[in-house]
Amino acid sequence: MAVSSGPTSGPLRRDDGLLRRIVAHRADYAYVLPALVVMMVVIAYPIWFTIDMSFYKTPASLQLRDRTFVGWKNYQTILTAPAFWSVTLNTLIWTVASTFFAFLLGLFAALSLHREFAGRAVLRAILLIPYVISAVAASYLWKWLYHSDFGVIGALSVQWGFTDKPINFLDNIHTALPSLIVVNIWREFSFAMIMLMAGLQTVPEQLLRAAQVDGANAWQRFWHVTAPHLKGVSMVTVLLLMVANFNSFIVPYLMTGGGPAGASDIWITHIYQIAFGRQNWGLASAYSVILFIVMMCLGYFYVQALTRGDKGRPE
C-alpha cells in the first residue's frame, strides 16, 4: 500500500504522463478490481455479445457456430415491420403515463405528508409497501382485482352503476394498457413520494415564512420557493422512473403477456417474445441494441443530473 498516494499526499500532478499516474496508483486499482471484474463479466460481455449477434441470423438452437452474417438486415426488418411502430407507441404511452402519474401522485403525497402530524410515519410506511413487495406479487394481486368474472373492481363498477356488467379489463384492447399503467402507478408513486419528501427537507423554512409575510399565497409560495428547490431531485426522480418503466417487464408479462392482439405489448415484452417465443436471437439482439441506444441517451441525462454542482470539485 506504500505506493498508493493517499487522499492528501499526492506527489504526482495532473500533467504527469497518464501511464506514470496509472503505475503510481496501481495499488488503488486493487480495491475496485473485484467490482470491476464482476461488472465486466456480467455487463461488458453481454453488451458486446448483443451487438455482435445483431448482425447475424441465428438458428433457434442457439448453436453459435451455425449462424450466418446478414449485415444490417435485422435492423431493416425491425424498422420496416408494422408492429415496430405500434409497440413503440405503446412503450411511449406506458413510460410517459406511468412516470407522469406516479410523479404527480408522489408530489401531492409528499406535500401532504411534509407537515408533522400523528400517524405520519405509519402512513408513509403503508404507502411504501407496494414499492417494496415483488412485482410478481403485485401482478397476481391486480390480476385478481381485475378478474373478468370475480374481480372486485368489476363488481364494484356494477354495484355503483357505472357499467351493466363487469368490464373485462385485461382482455379488451382499449382497457388492457391503461389497466397495466394503473398497476405500475400503484407500485411506483411512493418512490417519487420518498424522493420528493427528502427534497422538501432542503427547502429553508425561513424562506417560506418570509414569502408568507410578504403576502405570497400558498400557490405562489409553492411555485416560487418550494419548486425551485425540488428541481434537482425531480429531475433524478423522473429519469429513474422513466428508466424503470422503460425496462419493466414483469407486470406486462405476467398480467397480459403483451396481449390482447399486442395492445399492451411494449419493447421489453416484444423482445422477450422474439427471443424466447420465436427464438430469433439475432433479431432480438438488434432490437436490444436499439434499446441500448435509447437507454444510453437517458443515462447521459441521469449522470448529468447526478453530477450537477460537482463541476468545481477538484479531481
Partner 1 sequence: MSGRIDGWRWAGRVFLVLILLFTAVPMAWMLLTSIKSQFAAMQYPPQWWPAEPTLENYTKLLDPTNPVGRDFLRYMWNSFYVSLATTVLGVAVAVPAAYAFSRFRFPGRTFLFFAVLLRNMFPAVVFLMPLFILMRWLGLVGTHGSLILTYLTFGLPLSIWLLKGFYDNIPVQLEQAARIDGATRFQAFLLIVMPLSVPGILATSIFSFIGAWNEYVYAATFLNRQDQLTLPVGIQRFFAEFATDWPGLMAATFLMSVPVVVLFLVLQRYFVRALTEGAVKS
Segment 244-303, which members bind partner 1 (CB under 8 A)?
246-247, 249-250, 254, 268, 271-272, 275-276, 281, 284-285, 288, 291-292, 295-296, 298-299, 302-303
| Interaction of residue 210 with partner 1, rule CB under 8 A | no
Q: Which stretch binds partner 1 (CB under 8 A): 36-44, 69-77, 78-86, 88-96?
A: 36-44
Type and span of the H or E element at 69? strand 68-69
Question: CB of 86: closest distance to partner 1 in angstroms?
Answer: 19
Residues 6+ apart with CB under 8 A from 262: 83, 86, 87, 90
DSSP 8-state code for residue 40: I
Phi/psi region, residue 259 (left: phi>0; alpha: psi -120 to 50; beta: rest), is beta
Among 3, 31, 79, 210, binds partner 1 (CB under 8 A): 31
Cβ proximity to partner 1, 134 vs 206, nearer residue: 134
Question: CB of 315: closest distance to partner 1 in angstroms?
Answer: 7
Q: Which of the residues 65 through 104 are near partner 1 (CB under 8 A)?
A: none
Cβ proximity to partner 1, 47 vs 173, nearer residue: 47
Encode burial over 303-314: b for 16+ CB neighbours within 10 A, e otherwise: eebeeeeeeeee
| Interaction of residue 3 with partner 1, rule CB under 8 A | no
Among 77, 101, 135, 171, binds partner 1 (CB under 8 A): 135
Encode burial over 116-145: b for 16+ CB neighbours within 10 A, e otherwise: eeeeeeeebeebeebbeeebeebbeebbeb
